[in-house]
Amino acid sequence: MKAGQKSVGSNGKQNALFPMEVMYVTQGPGDDYSHGKSKAVDYTYRTNEGKVNRAPYYAPSDCHVIHIGTAGDGVVWASDAEVNYPGGTGYLVYMVWHDNDAPSFRIGETRKQGDLLGHTGTAGNVSGDHLHMEIYTGSAFDKSKAINNWEGLFINDTQIVNDYGFPWVTTDDTTGNINGSCPKGDGTFQLNDKVNAKVRSFEDAMKKECEAQGIPEAVVPLLALMMVESGGEGGDPMQSSESQGWAMNTIKDPMMSIHYGVKHFKESLETSKQYNVDIWTTFQQYNYGIGYAKYIGANGGKNTIPLAKAYSRDVVAPSLGNTSGIMVPYVNEISIALGETMRYVNGGNFLYAFMIQYYTTGDGSINACGNGTTEGDKEKDIINDYIKQLLSDQVNGWKY
């Protein structure tokens, strides 16, 4: 797993993930060197570039400390709730050993999935810096319930360097869901690897501005939006000049662009709440201008390609002079995947909300956290509901 990664199965329970970004097994379970009859596995952080000592590892799921090693060399965590794992669904206990910081942990301390759980280390009886891990089923530390690491952890988004030939699997192998990477439930709306460093460099500025305008939860969605608008380039990376009624790129200062971009997004959120529409409508409205939420509110409440396309043709394009539905080619990875490679001249971008999804799903695949264009896709609906809920508290709290 990666730092901060979330993974939830289609049953709404978290998928327990392998805790390191890199897998390099140095010792397996059994009766070899020091593992006796236990089902422990040892890991180091080693790639072609060499070994990293004190390498971070992350919480496989939401969890809390239930036991500290008496010699100050390890910590035992229990999942907060039932999780999906390759061998089934239920509570899991994660025993992690040799972190030099182990004595600083306290019983009851909690971590969310993807949070830093500790570092590989040399505390206790070791021959070198590593993580020793054991997995148990149940919610209490019970040695009789040991399962193998590969039976307890999915290896999604882990760089495999040396897996010792154990039968590791990803979530697709057992729970059949979307690669386990789609944030929802108590997770967060996340950026994926497609969001570039330039955009990420604006994170602090975005955070400051979102907090100032009372929508602190909108930082990540707005960074994704910046990625779509400009990739972080230029003096108006949020392309907010037009939202102020000015000509495109009138704004020359990225900070001013962010200020008006956040303001415009907040307006879009406000009207989304007013007309009880989904979050993807909020994004699409950022592109189209205020008015789209009302239209979607009157047509089912959910942004879909047919509705976005109709609004582009019937409202946006005519308002800018294209009254006869003239289309031009619009070809990129997303439009090809969605089978919509033409757009209306002066009609905005009717795939805008899907482009946001492209930069915010766990693995970047279109529709992994999509917006319900396919009937019966509960996964998508849950995401929509979650994000709506996430943002609605802010909306409710607004004074205007």
State the residues that interact with Zn ion by CB under 5 A: 40, 42, 132
By C-beta, is 9 or 60 nearer to Zn ion? 60
By C-beta, is 136 or 354 nearer to Zn ion? 136
Our measurement of the distance from residue 295's CA atom to the centroid of its chain's CA atoms, rounded to an integer in Å, reads: 29
By C-beta, is 52 or 81 nearer to Zn ion? 52
* Cα distance between residue 119 and residue 357, in whole Å: 33
| Minimum CB–partner distance for residue 286 and Zn ion (Å) | 51
* Cα distance between residue 64 and residue 94, in whole Å: 10
By C-beta, is 32 or 375 nearer to Zn ion? 32
Q: Which residue is nearest to Zn ion (CB)?
A: 132
Residue 119: phi, psi to the nearest 5? -135, 150
Q: Which amino acid is at 355?
A: M
CA dihedral 231, 386, 297, 394 (to 10 degrees): -80
| Minimum CB–partner distance for residue 35 and Zn ion (Å) | 6
| Minimum CB–partner distance for residue 122 and Zn ion (Å) | 12
| Minimum CB–partner distance for residue 52 and Zn ion (Å) | 18
Nearest partner of 265 among 317, 302, 318, 229, judged by Cα: 229
Cα–Cα distances in angstroms (integers) from residue 91 to residues 31, 40, 121, 202, in the given order: 27, 18, 27, 39
By C-beta, is 73 or 229 nearer to Zn ion? 73
By C-beta, is 132 or 264 nearer to Zn ion? 132
| Minimum CB–partner distance for residue 64 and Zn ion (Å) | 23
Token pair, residue 226, equals: 């910046």
Nearest partner of 279 among 179, 149, 183, 141, judged by Cα: 183
| Minimum CB–partner distance for residue 132 and Zn ion (Å) | 3
Cα–Cα distances in angstroms (integers) from residue 284 to residues 235, 240, 265, in the given order: 22, 14, 10
